[in-house]
Amino acid sequence: MKFTEEHEWLEADGDVVTVGITEHAATQLGDLVFIELPEVGARVAKDDELVVIESVKAASDVLAPLDGEITEVNEALVDNPTLVNEDPMGAAWMFRMKLDNPAEMEDLLDEDAYKALID
């Protein structure tokens, strides 16, 4: 698993990664009330705004962690955004994307570096 400084996690399966927000981010946001997911097939560049999240506390965006194409979205979150609060690092994944350059994953934070960031 890799992490971004924007509190996203990525788990690779070949050149496809599953992306969601970390438990730390979910806790900071509070109870989610709305999620807007990207379109399957969309081409994205690193740092593009992909997901809109609204909570009782604030609105936030999830950014594209790397360049690629959206291959799947977690439709369950649209009907049940609180799933992110319940299982942010598992069932509440947000989207899957095929990376243009899977080697760029190496530039992201590992778990120890992410823990140091949030401490």
Question: Cα–Cα distance between 50 and 109 in angstroms, integer?
Answer: 20
Q: Are 3 and 114 in contact (CB under 8 A)?
A: yes
Residue 86: which CATH number? 2.40.50.100
CA 118 to the chain's CA centroid: 17
Mean pLDDT of 86-90: 95
Residue 107 covered by a domain: no
Number of domains observed in the structure of the chain: 1
Determine the pLDDT at residue 83.
95
Residue 110 covered by a domain: no
pLDDT, tens only, 40-62: 999 999 999 999 999 988 889 99
Mean pLDDT of 70-79: 96
The domain of 63 spans: 2-102
pTM of the model: 0.93
